Amino acid sequence: MAEYTHIVQPFEPVYDENSEILILGSLPSVKSRENGFYYGHPQNRFWKVMSAVTKSTTPYDIAAKKQMLLDHHIALWDVIRECDIVGSSDSSIKNAVAADLTDIIKKAQIRRIYVNGKAAEKYYKKYIEPTIHMKAVVLPSTSPANAAFSLDRLIHVWKDLLWPSEGSYEYSLPMEYGDYTEILRESHMQGIEEELLVKVWKDLYDGWNLDESKLAEQEALHQLIRHKITVWFQSQEDSRILVLMSLGSFFDDWIERYEQKEELLKAYIVECYAMGVLRRAYRAFYDEHALQTGTYVAGMKFLDVEDVAQVGNLIEKQNIQDVKINEAKVFVPQKTVAFFTWKQDEKKDCTDLNICEQCGNINCINRKKNANEKPVTEENTETVSAKRKKNYKNNMDDIAARAETIKNNYGYHMIFGDKND
């Protein structure tokens, strides 16, 4: 009968302050311990896989292995700090004590965690996930015992999981009443009475959080609305990434409710607020995409008319149920945009874009005429902006016309831009 040996992790974790991906094995094998480093068994394919997915030369000495990982912002360690084990058999592990990932999480910039094989997954879920509250993605084991996966298949799967070329994710933008009013000021809507703004915000809050009892107006001012952003993406052959981003039907539903009750100014307020949320969603996208995919991006180009077919292909290929393109080539829900962005080797400042201050769209047909328009203030009461402020308050015909313009023009032109602009 084989004897158990008590093993304590002999290797320090590999990481630095720039590490973003953490890969965890179970415990170093006998051969790895003999050779003095992770995945030291000559038949284990870990280093061949990593060199392939990072497009690096396969390293053979410990220093080169560490450097390859650090150069690509990858951290490496094991799930188990110590245990009793027979040889290198993961199935025999007992009395396991989990590794403490606190220092790595605190000192590095870990965005995603992966586990190499089912044994590592088992102990990660049991001991580590409950303490750090980060889920791990399971990678097929690089062990020679995993004969179901050839080297080529391992490389293909690891590459797609570590750096996905297409997929989807969700994130949220927390908004408070102060964000809401700031967005409306950016849209030159300072002239709206505060009482009306509060009522619209309360409606939005109650509509967003239907499972809670309705709040008083003043209570609603201190609540958060976490607007959900859904992103679908697909890498192109020319290093571009096609991105489809949607706020869902929340804003469309509220605008329609107000329009049905002929509360057109409220509908217009929601429209302007929704466009501001989209503008903030664009800016948040860059950090969120890096967090979700490990891919840095820069720049943004909204789609031309001839590019719409590519979005249709994306919708069909990824079986997207939440977004459609109607007969007029307009997205439904309307608070949906599509654009190209470009892969970058490192993170750059991507927020300095030529985005319309009024609607947040880089190809907005009103971009040029809005560029030099001054916001409404009490001091410039004789300006055109101040006249519009007065119209907001007193001229419902003008309000109706503005709301109708937004309703008619937002869809096609506000998404794809006007090619004559």
For 66-87, write each residue's pLDDT tens digit. Answer: 999 999 889 999 999 998 888 8
Q: Show the domain range for 140.
A: 5-163
Least confidently predicted of 172-181, 280-289, 363-372, 398-407: 363-372
Q: Are residues 256 and 330 in the same domain?
A: yes
Tell me what the mean pLDDT of segment 134-159 comes to. Answer: 92
Tell me what the mean pLDDT of segment 8-16 comes to. Answer: 94
| Catalytic entry in 18, 35, 44, 420 | 44
What residues does 331 pair with on adjacent strands?
325
Does the annotation count 372 as an active-site position?
no
Q: Are residues 265 and 372 in the same domain?
A: yes
What residues does 185 pair with on adjacent strands?
none
Concatenated DSSP letters of 59-101: P-SHHHHHHHHHHTTEEEEESEEEEEESTT-GGG-EEEEE---
Q: Are residues 179 and 269 in the same domain?
A: yes
Q: Are residues 157 and 173 in the same domain?
A: no
Q: Are residues 67 and 178 in the same domain?
A: no
At residue 167 the predicted structure's pLDDT band, cuts being 50, 70 and 90, is confident
Number of domains in the chain: 2
pTM to 2 decimal places? 0.59
* Any domain includes 421: no
Q: Which residue did the predictor score with more confidence, 377 or 50?
A: 50
CA distance 125 to 129: 5
Q: Are residues 235 and 124 in the same domain?
A: no
What residues does 229 pair with on adjacent strands?
171
CA distance 335 to 330: 10
Give the domain CATH number at 47: 3.40.470.10
The residues near 230 (Cβ < 8 Å, ≥ 6 apart) are: 168, 169, 170, 245, 246, 248, 322
